[in-house]
Amino acid sequence: MSASAVFILDVKGKPLISRNYKGDVPMTEIDHFMPLLMQREEEGMLAPLLSHGRVHFLWIKHSNLYLVATTLKNANASLVYSFLYKTVEVFCEYFKELEEESIRDNFVIVYELLDELMDFGFPQTTDSKILQEYITQQGNKLETGKSRVPPTVTNAVSWRSEGIKYKKNEVFIDVIESVNLLVNANGSVLLSEIVGTIKLKVFLSGMPELRLGLNDRVLFELTGLSGSKNKSVELEDVKFHQCVRLSRFDNDRTISFIPPDGDFELMSYRLSTQVKPLIWIESVIEKFSHSRVEIMVKAKGQFKKQSVANGVEISVPVPSDADSPRFKTSVGSAKYVPEKNVVIWSIKSFPGGKEYLMRAHFGLPSVETEEVEGRPPIGVKFEIPYFTVSGIQVRYMKIIEKSGYQALPWVRYITQSGDYQLRTS
């Protein structure tokens, strides 16, 4: 079972708009949600699911809004939460920002969308590209007598319209990997993982069938390709877009699909492998009592020499009472951000194997503060094009369409920082 009704509330808990799908939960039940939420918050027992009598509230918060689904039955909670997050995504596609004002300004469209997104408590059409075909921004321009259901809603392929035509047929594939890393003060890696996504931008005519080949270890073992010459990657927690034929993937690891038009995320994956820190940071922070603090930071690129990290930002924490900053850098520029109590060292281009130095000097007030401050970690942001940490590769992209046209696939690899932190001693 799924949701009985969906409410959108303002920050004070007042309903802005609601849609009753099943009529088995009184709409007045929502009045109990906010007092219950505040009570649980005071008790420090706030949970994503709250209950009042026999009624359950499943809720999420987005900017200054609460999206709440109510249910009497033992509903599939993960389905309801997925639906609420998808609803936020659809509204953001329509209104750019989802907040109280955008709901009030677009009442009619919001109600129409709630009508199409769910039917009798079960999610229906949740693809914003398809919804935009028949729920337009100009809600007042409805023509009577010409109402028709878009074919995509009744098609087996509900995410792609028929009759799409392009002069030039192309597919752009982006393989983006984010590195999450936590290093302790002794230089030991406490946590390291790679979170990857494969994004596609599709400009193809008709109803093409695409097959994507990766250097997937399980596939290599199935086909007997695993050997010293063929570098393979073991993918974990693989998650696909709805267009991928999962039964085919389970059988022979083939990623086969009819793609939506335009941009979409085909798949995401995770690798919990030991990652060598791509940018290594060493820091020495010397605090001279009642007078000054001196910081020395050394950054080293520990990736291939032919690769270059772009837009590198190293955030170094400084005491909250520091003032009159002075900097000296071997490359790039440093600036003090007092509201965040950090120095941000920006390096536009950081080649692999290079080593750079930054020195900072701050004055301290003569009166020592009683509180002992914690030392936040050093954070690093970067992006390395034409490079993947895991070694994942797109081996092929086959494009099959009944008209037999030739299409060009383009592949781009990017490695970027995720949650990348190094603790200081």
* 310 vs 380: CA distance, rounded Å: 12
Decide if 87 contacts 117 (C-beta within 8 A): yes
Report the distance separating Cα 145 and Cα 77, nearest Å: 40
User: 369 vs 289, 316, 320, 372, 407, CA distance in Å?
Assistant: 11, 21, 10, 8, 67
Written as six digits, the tokens of 295 are: 């910081």
Burial of 345 (0-12, 13-18, 19+ CB in 10 A): buried
CB atoms near residue 90 (< 10 Å): 22
Kindly tell me the burial class for residue 37, based on how many C-beta atoms sit within 10 Å of its own C-beta (0-12, 13-18, 19 or more): buried
Burial of residue 188 (number of CB atoms within 10 Å: 0-12, 13-18, 19+): exposed
Q: What's the pLDDT score for residue 306?
A: 92
Contact (Cβ atoms closer than 8 angstroms) between residue 16 and residue 9: yes
User: What pLDDT, on the 0 to 100 scale, is given for residue 143?
Assistant: 39
Distance CA 178, CA 382 (A): 10
Q: Determine the pLDDT at residue 241.
A: 92
pLDDT in tens, 380-415: 999 999 999 999 999 999 999 988 898 989 999 999
The phi and psi torsions of 251 (rounded to 5 degrees) equal -70, -55
* Structure-block tokens of residue 358: 């930054």
- Paired with 295 in beta bridges are 285, 360
Residue 230 has what pLDDT? 61
**Within the chain, which residues score under 70 in pLDDT?**
1, 137-156, 225-230, 290, 366-374
Question: What is the per-residue pLDDT across 127-168, written as a single tens digit (0 to 9) for each?
Answer: 887 888 778 765 333 333 344 455 555 556 778 888 899 999
**Token pair belonging to 167:** 């002069």
HSE-up (13 A, CA, CB side) for residue 164:
21
pLDDT at 144: 37
304: number of Cβ within 10 Å: 12
**Residue-level pLDDT at 265:** 94
Name 89's Cβ contacts closer than 8 Å, sequence gap at least 6. Answer: 128
Angle formed by the axes of helices 107-117 and 77-95, nearest 10° = 140
